[in-house]
Amino acid sequence: MTLNFYCLNHLSKFLKDLDHLNFCRLLDLKINVNNITPSYRLFMQNYIIEFYDTGYDLKEIVKHLKINPYQRLTQKFIREFQDHIDWKCVSSFQEFSEEFIKEFADKVDWTEVSKSQRLSEGFIKEFQHAVDWYSISSCQELSEKCIIEFQDRVNWRQVSKRQALSEPFIRRFKDRIDWHYISEHQELSEGFIQEFENCVNWCLISRHQEISEEFIRKFKDSVDWSDISSNQKLSEEFIKEFAERVDWRNIFSCQDVSCEFFKEFMNRINWKKDWVYVELPKEFIDIVDHAKTVCKFPKWSNDDVHF
């Protein structure tokens, strides 16, 4: 006896979850969302693309799911179920082609697109009134030519921080760039730093730029000696020359100095402060421990810390 459509449809109501889905797919029946339990709906919304690729008819059930946007969704799926997805999330977490973004220009979240999608300068120019320029300035790779063309739209703080800028470009826009971020994130020559010595942030220059001992000597009253001591490569002769300026804790923990040098200047540190041991090389700690057994260190007051 051949079962008619009514009977098959009635039978499907007694099946749940995957059994119901498979039965409906096999016999080309409409899925009844009431036959999908809440726990299985949760499973489906997290793995919806696997169900879609397998060939299940999801038109009815997708309406009742909160699709997880963090899974990888195909553009075909998004196109078919465009009215049932979170466009802000998919604009951020899915990889779109520029053609796809153009197709759904009225649906995508342009801030998320500007932040998370890889956009060409031609595309940015075409949609200059739609993109978020703060995100474009911080997240897209822009040429100096593009920045110049849209100099009144870009965010100059983010350009200074995120874009690779040449010294001639920085010089040209010296009154628009952010010198704090320039000092920290751009690669600057010593000549350029000297040219703009009154603009740069010397603490950040000392910390992030690679500068020579000769240059440090020339600007000894401008540099930050704590950062110089920890971030610049210094010779023992140079450290001796500026023994009263360097940060000895940073010198011993960050500079490559010999044990003989350490022994000569170890009394620059108050060894009564336990925290000074934390960042020291083991061989230096061994020297200190040995010194404690054979001689007495100076009696510092509790407030003394020698750097």
Mean model confidence pLDDT for the chain: 88
- Residue range(s) defining the domain that contains residue 270: 247-307
- The confidence score (pLDDT) of residue 10 equals 62
In a domain, 110, yes or no: no
Count CB atoms within 10 A of the CB of residue 221: 7
* Domain annotation covers residue 28: yes
pLDDT of residue 305: 40
- The pLDDT of residue 80 is above 80: yes
Residue of higher predicted confidence among 33 and 225: 225
Whether residue 2 lies inside any domain: the answer is yes
pTM: 0.80
Q: What is the per-residue pLDDT for 60?
A: 78
Q: How far is CA 91 from CA 87, 113, 139, in A?
A: 6, 5, 14
Are 6 and 30 within 8 A, CB to CB?
A: no
CA distance 222 to 203: 8
Q: Could you say which of 69, 85, 101 is where a domain stops?
A: 85
Name which residue leads in pLDDT, 262 or 180: 180
Cβ pair 306, 269 in contact under 8 A: yes
Q: Which one of 85, 100, 122 terminates a domain?
A: 85
Looking at 85, 117, 152, which one is the last position of a domain?
85
pLDDT in tens, 31-59: 778 888 888 888 888 888 888 888 888 88
Confidence of residue 152 (pLDDT cuts 50, 70, 90): very high
Write the pLDDT tens digit of every residue in 106-142.
Answer: 999 999 999 999 999 999 999 999 999 999 999 999 9
Task: Count the domains in the chain.
Answer: 2
283, containing H or E segment: helix 282-294
> Is 19 within a domain?
yes
Per-residue pLDDT band at 303 (split at 50, 70, 90): very low
Of 51, 48, 45, nearest to 65 by C-alpha is 45
* 176 assigned to some structural domain: no
